[in-house]
Structure formats: C-alpha cells, structure tokens
Amino acid sequence: MDPKSVINIIYENSEIFIINKKAGMSVQGGEKIAHPLDEELAKQTGQKVYLVHRLDKDTSGLMIVAKTPAAANKWTKLIGSKEVKKEYIAVCTGRLSQKSGIISEDVIQHGQVKRAVTHYTVEKEWEIEREGEEPVPMCQIRLLLETGRMHQIRIHLAKQGCPIAGDDQHGNFKINKILRKMAGIKHLQLFSVKLTLPIDGKPQTYLLFPDNPIK
C-alpha cells in the first residue's frame, strides 16, 4: 500500500471509523480519481466501508465512515438530525464586518435552492506584508455547520467578501497566487477540526488542532 494513501484512524467501534482525511484525497471513487478514501480505507482495514457524509477533496480533517449498511443508515440519520456537530477552521483573506454571527444564505445544489446556515467566530486577524503593495488581510475563522450543503462554507465566506485562502473555485485567484508565493499556501485552507457525536449514549468530542492557529 502506498504510504501516501494510509489513512489515520482516530477512533473506531463496531459501527464507525473516525478518520483524519488528508487534503487532496477524494472521498469517493470514480472515473480518473486515483486513491479515493472509500477504496483506500477498505484496502487498509480489509472490509468494505460506507460514506455517511463528505468532505471536499481539498478539505482535510475529521470525518465519520460507517462499517456496515445498517450503521451507514443510522449515522446518516444522526448527522441529519443534528445529533452530530461538525466544526471547521478556515484561514481566509479579507475581513468580516462582525466578529461572530450567523450566515444564513441559500445555496444552489444540483439545480435546486437549498437552505444553508453557518455559525462563525473570528479567532484571529493578521496581515501579510508586500513590498511596495498593500498588505493582504488574513483571518482565522471557526465555523459550526447547522446545515451541510456542498461547498457551503466556501460559498458563504466568499459571498461575505472573505474567501478561504487557496480556494480557486469560489475565492480570489489573484490573491491566491500572491499567497502561494508570499506564504507558501498551496491548497484550500479549510480543516474539519472538531466532531461531537453520541457514542454509547453519551456525547463524545474528537479534536484536531484544538488551540494552534493554522497558517
């Protein structure tokens, strides 16, 4: 097995794995997709696995994967019922007008308008200096999803004028080129850092990077 494809398992029980997905790894296999998470985790563990939610290819961090179809059905419902809480950290360019709040703006998904709600708190602000140019404002934002739409966080922050660094689909391509050169930021700066979920009837929390700012 390619060492680059090894997936870090944070926790497992009879129903699920909690894994730390690497940036750049697609969650699901398909045409022209090499080393997707569902295939690699199945090879690594010797059993078929079932997706219950997704992270974008370039988003890294905590994710739940089920071991059986019955567990997948159960955990898909738990995530949809808000019994599972998902928190993210994003490193962004720009500034938000309010240091905390709720972004409630519909997104279009597969041609349909979907309700989307994101809670956020700005944790840190700084600037990247450029010789002879205006500095690039940066900020670190913690986000809690109330809904889980495709690219929800990326779309919401971009529409607020504070796109995620390294997001060439919804963000600022020109600024991203500057950040690659000045700060070495080469991929999407969005990280799934906290999962709270019911294990044996009690809420359990799993953390990545709980205190350290990500740059």
| Distance separating alpha carbons of residues 139 and 149, to the nearest angstrom | 23
Measuring CA to CA, how many Å separate 170 from each of 21, 71, 147, 193?
Answer: 22, 34, 19, 21
Residue 40's region, left for phi above 0, alpha for psi from -120 to 50, else beta, is alpha
Pick the closest to residue 19 from 6, 29, 32 (CA basis). Answer: 6
Active site residue 167: no
| Distance separating alpha carbons of residues 158 and 128, to the nearest angstrom | 19
Active site residue: 2, 56, 167, 200, which one?
56
For the annotated catalytic residues, the residue numbers are 56
